[in-house]
């Protein structure tokens, strides 16, 4: 049994903590809070998904704030780590903050840590994907799970690259402007231009090291999901059926029809109707009837639920970094079953 | 002096009618209304841009509605055309309606007509662009000005194709969901997937007939402008400066910096500050610092103001179809000066 703590209970942290609770080979020993905000409070209420979990806080300053809010707190992160019971910390703190914790605290207490894609790649010894490089994480101390967009690209591009071979990939991203709860962030009615190239292509290369990939991104006023338009040049001519087959055989990638699901809102509604927690979509959704093959050139549109797709990779990363499961397919199966992932 | 009538006073019609009033070699003899809606009423008020223009209506049914609303109407479109005073009708009626008018009325009264991009290409004898094929319109009866996105692509791609040569163009479009006044249309918080390929590439080929082009599009919840991400393969290697030079020399294409103008809203604000009517942007705005050249591959981001970019082409089309100005550069200069177009 692996004892896990989750530092940071925001968009990703609350989902990862919940997913850990659903694993039979892990125990969620602690969540570490920063301030007594409504989201954190809800997760700890009797109806909340983290009810009963031990709450710790980042430092003395936080401790004061939580006690003033009348919440029961066990102590600070350092006090937790001094007890030596935690095997792995999943760091879900805001962008760039994870590196500070690593240097000041995780290294000091010699605890393994999993960082998120908001941190730069060199915060960890490797960037992780369950299918591509599970075994490389064995014995590592610091591992990073890349961001939602990168995870989406790794899953879909690896599916085609490993079966047919990709000569060159160009990706054009319409990014959601903010998450649904971020009511003060993002353009109301504008399209923002990201720097060219966007950071996504470089980030994909931290996992798919030899892929020839370029990316551009626009930020658009929606909160539900990212959408990617992909154009790849294959290493040989291929039929549309081969591409569909590659996606069908890839775990955590599913195919839906654009005719039936013509928008991100329709796709989100489908997963709400599956009664998934919060309507989360752990899978990358490829729109089957957008796959367009012309000789060696292949294009498609796929959707990335930014709040959820990295959750299964975080769970697999806990098994890989601790070595409790050496077979990646077994870990993937355990994770998929526990979260109700379609395939 | 060419006598012009504009049929349909919506997003494009009111702008084209206003632009005609600003030309010294044309007279706006009539606008033809469908119903007494607030937009049309505003244009005819003393503060409105079409104040004093003769109002005609599409048919007897319309006539009744306008008279009930207490508006002064001269008569129906057929009565107007019977007088034989109109040289050119600019048809700005809704998508698909222009073809009906052509078959039932324009042909019957032997009047020249200019259609918009909402009509299919075969409604007219040719699809028009001021720079690319002005002379081909001489002596034609029916000409079509392509839609805003197509016009944007024709201007930018022709700039590079005519100077350097394009082997292959891939275009990825984030479409605005609706125009600002369309308060009941479009997704609130979703990204819609358009069919692959989108219609834009085929439409560009109605003007740039030999261009090897593919397009994909997503519809996003914004009203201010479309944004395109373009990737082209050049016929030879080129330097970034050559691409910039090609855009700088192209009329109705301007360069702005992404650092200074990081969103469609910032660009629209700039043109509002120029005190353009309605803040219209007739130019295609290329973000200079998004131009990214790698050998023969070149990418950039540009912005298309969907309400306005086709207006100058409509004015030039009137001169070309009637033959009152045989020199395209003279027509372009007249149009640009009258509308305050930057270059």
- Mean pLDDT (whole number) for B289-301: 98
- Token readout for A152 is 């989406």
* pLDDT recorded at residue A275: 87
Question: Helix-strand-coil percent breakdown of chain B, rounded to 5?
Answer: 35, 25, 40
B263 and A220 within 8 Å at the Cβ level: the answer is no
| CATH code reported for the domain at B148-304 | 3.30.360.10
- Residue corresponding to tokens 């009509």: B119
- For the purposes of burial, counting CB atoms within 10 Å of the CB of A58, is it exposed (0-12), middle (13-18) or buried (19 or more)? buried
With CB atoms and an 8 Å threshold, state whether A220 touches B221. Answer: yes
Report the SS3 class of residue A3: strand
Asked if B232 and B298 count as a contact pair (C-beta separation under 8 A), the reply is: yes
Question: Does residue B240 sit at the A interface (CB-CB below 8 Å)?
Answer: no
Q: With an 8 Å Cβ cutoff, is B163 touching chain A?
A: no
At B60, is the secondary structure helix, strand, or coil?
A: helix
Q: Which residue of A has its CA nearest to B300?
A: A196
B285/B132 Cα distance (integer angstroms): 19
Write a three-state SS string for A171-191: EEEEEECCCCCCCCCCCCCCC
Q: Are A243 and A299 in contact (CB under 8 A)?
A: no
A-proximal residues of B, 188-227, CB under 8 Å: 189-193, 195-197, 214, 216, 218, 220-225, 227
A240 burial type by CB count under 10 A (0-12 exposed, 13-18 middle, 19+ buried): middle
Range(s) of chain A covered by CATH 3.40.50.720: 2-145+310-339
Over the range A169-184, which residues count as b (16 or more CB within 10 Å of their CB) and which as e? bbbbbbbbbbbeeeee
Average pLDDT, chain B: 97
pLDDT at B263: 97
DSSP β-bridge partners for residue B253? B284
Determine whether A148 is an active site residue: yes
B294 forms beta bridges with B297
**What is the mean pLDDT of the segment spanning B249-273?**
96
Partners of residue B225 in chain A, C-beta under 8 Å = 191
Quote the CA–CA distance of B91 and B119 in Å, as a whole number: 10
DSSP string, B206-254: TTSTT--EEEEEEEES-SS-EEEEEEEEESS---HHHHHHHHHTSTTEE
**Interatomic CA distance for residues A252 and A254, integer angstroms:** 7
pLDDT of residue A60: 96
Is the pLDDT reported for residue B275 higher than 90? no
- Between the alpha carbon of residue B315 and those of residues A46, B80, B114, the distances in Å are 68, 21, 10
Residue A222 has its nearest CB partner, among B190, B197, B266, at B190
Query: pLDDT for B116-156, tens place per residue?
Result: 999 999 999 999 999 999 999 999 999 999 999 999 999 99
DSSP 8-state class, residue B302:
E
Q: Does B295 touch chain A (CB under 8 A)?
A: no
Q: Does domain B2-145+310-339 have CATH number 3.40.50.720?
A: yes
Domain with CATH 3.30.360.10 in chain B: 148-304
> For the segment A274-328, what is each residue's pLDDT rounded down to a tens digit?
989 999 999 999 999 999 999 999 999 999 999 999 999 999 999 999 999 999 9
CB distance A191 to A218 below 8 Å: yes
Residue indicated by tokens 């997760």: A43
Average pLDDT estimate for B219-248: 98
- Burial class of residue A3 (count of CB atoms within 10 Å of its CB; 0-12, 13-18, 19+): middle
The pTM of the whole model exceeds 0.90: yes
Percent of chain B past pLDDT 70, that is, above it, reads 100
Vertex B93: Cα angle to B183 and B135 (nearest 5): 125
Residues of B in contact with A299 (CB under 8 A): 196, 214, 216
- Report residues of chain A scoring pLDDT below 50: none
DSSP designation for A263: B
> Which of A149, A172, A243, A301 is the best substitution to test chain B (most B C-beta atoms within 10 A)?
A172
Q: Positive or negative CA dihedral for B174, B180, B185, B187?
A: positive
**Contact between B8 and B90 (Cβ < 8 Å):** no
ipTM of the complex: 0.92
Contact indicator for B220, B176 with CB cutoff of 8 Å: yes
Determine which of A270-279, B286-295, B301-310 has the lowest per-residue pLDDT on average.
A270-279
- Reduced to 3 states, what is the DSSP secondary structure of residue B198? coil
Bridge-based pairing of strands B226-234 and B297-304 is antiparallel
Q: Give the count of beta carbons closer than 10 Å to the beta carbon of residue A270.
A: 16
Q: How far apart are CA B299 and CA B284, in angstroms?
A: 16
pLDDT at B183: 87
- Cβ atoms within 10 Å of B55's Cβ, excluding its own: 20
Phi, psi of A132 (to 5 degrees): -75, -45
**Residue contact A218–B301, C-beta within 8 A:** yes
């Amino acid at each position: 049994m692996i004892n896990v703590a989750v530092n940071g209970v925001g968009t990703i942290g609350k989902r990862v903590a919940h997913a850990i609770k659903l694993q039979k080979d892990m125990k969620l020993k602690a969540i570490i809070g920063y301030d007594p905000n409504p989201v954190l409070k809800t997760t700890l209420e009797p109806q909340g998904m983290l009810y009963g979990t031990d709450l710790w806080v980042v430092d003395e300053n936080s401790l004061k704030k939580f006690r003033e809010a009348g919440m029961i707190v066990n102590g600070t992160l350092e006090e937790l780590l001094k007890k030596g019971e935690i095997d792995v910390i999943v760091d879900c703190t805001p962008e760039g903050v994870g590196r500070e914790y690593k240097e000041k605290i995780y290294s000091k207490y010699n605890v393994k840590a999993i960082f998120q894609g908001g941190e730069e790649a060199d915060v960890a010894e490797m960037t992780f994907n369950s299918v591509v490089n599970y075994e490389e994480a064995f014995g590592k101390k610091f591992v990073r799970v890349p961001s939602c967009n990168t995870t989406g690209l790794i899953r879909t591009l690896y599916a085609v690259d490993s079966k047919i071979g990709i000569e060159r990939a160009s990706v054009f991203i319409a990014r959601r402007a903010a998450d649904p709860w971020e009511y003060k962030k993002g353009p109301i009615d504008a399209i923002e231009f990201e720097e060219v190239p966007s950071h996504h292509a470089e980030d994909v290369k931290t996992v798919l090291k030899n892929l020839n990939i370029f990316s551009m991104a626009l930020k658009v006023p929606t909160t539900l999901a990212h959408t990617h338009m992909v154009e790849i040049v294959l290493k040989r001519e291929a039929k549309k059926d081969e591409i569909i087959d590659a996606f069908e055989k890839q775990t955590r990638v599913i195919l839906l029809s654009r005719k039936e699901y013509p928008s991100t809102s329709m796709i989100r509604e489908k997963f709400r109707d599956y009664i998934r927690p919060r309507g989360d979509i752990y899978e990358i959704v490829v729109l089957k009837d957008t796959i367009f093959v012309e000789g060696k050139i292949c294009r498609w549109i796929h959707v990335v639920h930014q709040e959820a797709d990295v959750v299964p990779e975080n769970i697999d990363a806990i098994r890989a970094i601790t070595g409790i499961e050496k077979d990646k397919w077994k870990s993937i199966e355990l994770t998929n079953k526990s979260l109700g992932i379609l395939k």
